[in-house]
């Protein structure tokens, strides 16, 4: 999911207006400051106290919902928005926030409906808020496979000059999903011609093209990215990813090591993957453990750790890592984790559980023909 990066500008504008006229307003202002600093637990606590002091302000509930979004507690966020709308049924910001929550919950039709309501309250006045709402609506359209609608919305955003580089990329993605590769490549090139083009955008285009089988073209974009100049500290990490995807592990190791030394914990994950691919599983496992110890957990790292233990014949430990990874609900790694979990049960000779797990996997991913064959085999055990 797209980062909720447009929340803060709205909140900071409110911060300037909140003032300190009452203890509730003061607590709300403190919550907004905590939010700005990324201290979302403290922000939620401050907003909660503001509501206890004064439960008549819709904006306090909206602010509380924002904090819950950042904490990943979407049901609580929805509850706060319900309260806000009871107080102010015409709150554009409440409907906008509700739409964002529904996107996070993968309820895209609900998201579009909420965002449409938010647009209805523009009353003919179109500004940054309305552009932002359109931005989220286009994301919901893209996520719900309404590719032509997403293309149309991105076209509006591009025509008004709202983040054209980003939206050329996203429209290109929609074109690719809509089987219009020619239009997609034109948009990708336009996205990279924009002034805000970064390593990350090249990487996003690479990932998109790779997923749809355009591997040669995808690699060519990475080669172009290597011609960019490093402008920010995080560019070292991004360049490491480029070398990694190109299979140039020597340069990837150099860049990831430098990024790690500068405090980029995500570099540890890639370092571990390179060590594992080179057969140095002991160093890989230690590196993955270091990554987990930073608190930067992901389903992928537990999958990698489980694979190492599986290949060492420690199936019990492998299963534990796969199951821990699944508990994170990381959609990017869920498929691999589910498959590896089922296979591990088979190696533990628990054929009934293995059969049930593989059947569930095949039901979710019917195009994995190797898994379909394995599922048929397990039925005979």
Task: Tell me the pLDDT tens digit for each residue of 243-259.
Answer: 999 999 999 999 999 99
The whole-chain average pLDDT of the chain stands at 90
- Residue 246 DSSP SS3: coil
Give the confidence band of 311 by pLDDT, cuts at 50, 70, 90.
very high
pLDDT recorded at residue 8: 43
Give the confidence band of 7 by pLDDT, cuts at 50, 70, 90.
low
Q: What is the rounded distance in angstroms from the CA atom of residue 98 to the CA atom of residue 93? A: 8
- Residue 367 DSSP SS3: coil
Does the structure show a pLDDT above 60 at 339? yes
pLDDT recorded at residue 370: 81
Give the confidence band of 22 by pLDDT, cuts at 50, 70, 90.
low
pLDDT recorded at residue 197: 87
Kindly report, residue by residue over 68-109, the tens digit of the pLDDT: 999 989 999 999 999 999 999 999 999 999 999 999 998 999
Give the confidence band of 331 by pLDDT, cuts at 50, 70, 90.
confident
pLDDT recorded at residue 229: 82
- % of the chain exceeding 90 in pLDDT: 79
pLDDT recorded at residue 25: 92
Across the range 224-242, mean pLDDT stands at 88
What residues have CB less than 8 Å from 373, skipping those under 6 apart? none
For residue 272, what are its two tokens?
A: 């571990």
pLDDT recorded at residue 195: 85
DSSP annotation of 301 reads: H
* Cβ neighbourhood burial of 247 (10 Å; 0-12, 13-18, 19+): exposed
What are the DSSP calls for 303-321, one per residue? HHHHHHHHHTT-HHHHHHH
For residue 210, what are its two tokens?
A: 């790779």
pLDDT recorded at residue 224: 92
pLDDT recorded at residue 17: 41
Sign of the four-CA dihedral 66, 153, 194, 1: positive
pLDDT recorded at residue 124: 67
Identify whether the C-beta of residue 265 lies closer than 8 Å to the C-beta of residue 291: yes
Give the confidence band of 347 by pLDDT, cuts at 50, 70, 90.
very high
Q: What is the rounded distance in angstroms from the CA atom of residue 50 to the CA atom of residue 30? A: 10
Kindly report, residue by residue over 125-150, the tens digit of the pLDDT: 778 899 999 999 999 999 999 999 99
Site of tokens 């449409």? 116
Distance between the two ends of the chain, CA-based, in angstroms? Answer: 40
Vertex 265 angle, CA 43 and 268, to 5°:
150
pLDDT recorded at residue 19: 42
CB atoms within 10 A of CB 27: 23
pLDDT-wise least confident of 3-12, 44-53, 65-74, 338-347: 3-12
Does the structure show a pLDDT above 50 at 4? no
Give the confidence band of 296 by pLDDT, cuts at 50, 70, 90.
confident
- % of the chain exceeding 70 in pLDDT: 93
Q: What is the rounded distance in angstroms from the CA atom of residue 45 to the CA atom of residue 35? A: 11
For residue 187, what are its two tokens?
A: 């948009």
Site of tokens 């790690």? 260
Vertex 336 angle, CA 334 and 342, to 5°:
100
Across the range 101-123, mean pLDDT stands at 92
Give the confidence band of 13 by pLDDT, cuts at 50, 70, 90.
very low
Q: What is the rounded distance in angstroms from the CA atom of residue 119 to the CA atom of residue 134? A: 8
For residue 172, what are its two tokens?
A: 């290109």
């Amino acid at each position: 999911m797209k980062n909720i990066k447009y929340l803060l500008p709205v909140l900071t504008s409110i911060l300037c207006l909140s003032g300190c006229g009452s203890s509730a307003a003061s607590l709300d202002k403190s919550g907004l400051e905590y939010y700005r600093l990324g201290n979302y637990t403290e922000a939620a606590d401050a907003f909660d106290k503001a509501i206890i002091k004064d439960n008549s302000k819709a904006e306090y509930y909206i602010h509380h919902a924002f904090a819950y979004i950042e904490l990943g507690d979407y049901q609580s966020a929805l509850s706060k928005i319900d309260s806000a709308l009871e107080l102010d049924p015409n709150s554009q910001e409440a409907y906008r926030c509700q739409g964002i929550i529904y996107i996070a919950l993968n309820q895209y039709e609900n998201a579009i409906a909420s965002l449409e309501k938010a647009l209805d309250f523009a009353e003919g006045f179109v500004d940054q808020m309305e552009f932002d709402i359109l931005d989220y609506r286009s994301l919901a359209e893209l996520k719900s496979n309404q590719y032509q609608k997403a293309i149309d919305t991105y076209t509006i955003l591009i025509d008004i000059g709202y983040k054209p580089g980003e939206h050329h990329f996203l429209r290109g993605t929609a074109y690719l999903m809509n089987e219009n590769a020619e239009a997609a490549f034109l948009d990708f090139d336009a996205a990279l011609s924009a002034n805000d083009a970064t390593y990350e955008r090249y990487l996003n285009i690479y990932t998109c093209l790779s997923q749809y089988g355009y591997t040669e073209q995808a690699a060519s974009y990475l080669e172009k990215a290597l011609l960019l100049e490093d402008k920010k500290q995080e560019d070292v990490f991004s360049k490491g990813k480029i070398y990694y995807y190109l299979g140039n592990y020597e340069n990837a190791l150099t860049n990831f090591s430098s990024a790690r030394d500068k405090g980029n914990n995500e570099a540890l994950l890639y370092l571990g993957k390179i060590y594992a691919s080179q057969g140095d599983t002991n160093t890989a496992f230690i590196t993955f453990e270091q990554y987990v110890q930073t608190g930067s957990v992901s389903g992928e790292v537990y999958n990698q750790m489980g694979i190492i233990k599986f290949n060492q014949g420690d199936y019990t430990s492998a299963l534990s890592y796969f199951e821990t990874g699944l508990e994170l609900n990381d959609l990017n790694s869920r498929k691999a984790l589910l498959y590896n979990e089922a296979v591990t049960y088979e190696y533990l000779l628990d054929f009934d559980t293995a059969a049930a797990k593989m059947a569930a996997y095949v039901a979710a991913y019917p195009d994995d023909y190797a898994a379909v064959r394995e599922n048929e085999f397990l039925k005979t055990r």
